[in-house]
Structure 1
Amino acid sequence: MLSVKVKDNESFEKTLRRFTTECNKNKVVRGYRERSFYVSPSERMHEIRMKKKRYGVSEPK
């Protein structure tokens, strides 16, 4: 669980900004979006292969 402790004399906006930054670092929202709907294993593998092809990483035979 992600938590941010409020420092002395720290405004709510600054605390919220730190919390948002921590969420982005830990990819919390990204993970939620990825698991929000079902993706079949074949679609997942197709996506991985396309990423490898796009970035020029060869796949072992």
Structure 2
Amino acid sequence: MTKLKYTPEIRERAVQLLIESEKDYPSTWAAITAIAPKIGCTPETLRVWLMCAEKTGGFNLVN
């Protein structure tokens, strides 16, 4: 099975969308589970991207 690769730009936009939309949901996880299918990734993938962005203080998502 081939892994789907997401460009850094897609990852950055996904995290930005998540951060902007978080206030509309009761929790971060609720926002993640709502937004991930729109992007075409799993909630866990989006959660990891968010953690990486928070850890690095930006969108250095090279994984």
Give TM-score, length-normalised by structure 1: 0.30
Q: Which has the higher contact order (CA 8 A, sep 6+)?
A: 2
Larger Rg: 1
The answer to which structure has the higher helix fraction is 2
